[in-house]
Amino acid sequence: MSENDVSPVPCAEQLKSEAQDWIVRLTSGRATTTDANALNAWCQRSPAHAHAFAEAKALWHALKSAAQSSF
In a domain, 3, yes or no: no
In a domain, 2, yes or no: no
Total domains present in the chain = 1
pLDDT tens profile 22-64:
999 999 999 999 999 999 999 999 999 999 999 999 999 998 8
Question: What is the domain range of residue 39?
Answer: 14-19+35-70
Residue 61 and residue 59: Cα distance in Å, rounded? 5
In a domain, 9, yes or no: no
Residue 22 and residue 4: Cα distance in Å, rounded? 30
In a domain, 59, yes or no: yes
Distances (CA, A) of 54 to 2, 4, 13, 58: 31, 29, 14, 6
pLDDT number for residue 13? 94
Residue 49 and residue 14: Cα distance in Å, rounded? 10
Question: Residue 4: is its pLDDT beyond 60?
Answer: no
For residues 69 and 33, the model is more confident at 33
In a domain, 54, yes or no: yes
pLDDT number for residue 1? 39
Q: Whats the size of the chain, residue-wise?
A: 71
